[in-house]
Amino acid sequence: MSNKLNVAIYPGSFDPLTNGHLDLISRSSILFDKVIVAVSKKSINKNYLFNENERLNLIKKNIQHLDNVSAQVFEGLLINYAKSINANIIIRGLRALSDFESEFQMSLMNRKLNDNINTVFLMPHEKYTYISSSIVKEVFSLKGNVDEYVPKSVLEAMKNKHE
């Protein structure tokens, strides 16, 4: 048996953090020695509700109870970030079959860039399989109820953004 720590990163925009994200973070904390939630900086392809520091702070509020989980902001190529923090695992969530194709392509590219870093796919609890940050933002913007999809602190922050 190896003494090497399994350091996993769970990357994403987390805009906003959902209960599905928290489900994967919680289960990852059981599977790996250390988990780093890696919050991506702004992307030209995304329209953000929260800036990276707001997203980071909301995550930190909701992972305090998990001793082996931390959160950081990163920018640039994920595989370079993973290498810089000595992570050997990338966690990716799969909600539905439609997620698989793009995640599979990213996983293969990451392996080509650095085959010492493996991708592990986790499925969220079935009650979260249809939830995404995009859907939560859209439903919320149209005055729909998203209480059961995001932590209370995130819901409060969303309400403050729309005041």
Active-site residue numbers? 21, 46, 95, 133
3-state secondary structure of 48: coil
Residue 119 phi/psi, 5-degree rounding, is -100, 135
Residue in the block written with tokens 């995009």? 134
Whole-number Cα distances in Å, 35 to 50, 51, 86, 139, 145: 23, 22, 12, 30, 31
Cα–Cα dist 88/76, whole Å: 17
154 class by beta-carbon count within 10 Å (0-12 exposed, 13-18 middle, 19+ buried) = buried
- Angle in degrees, CA 82, 94, 42, rounded to 5: 50
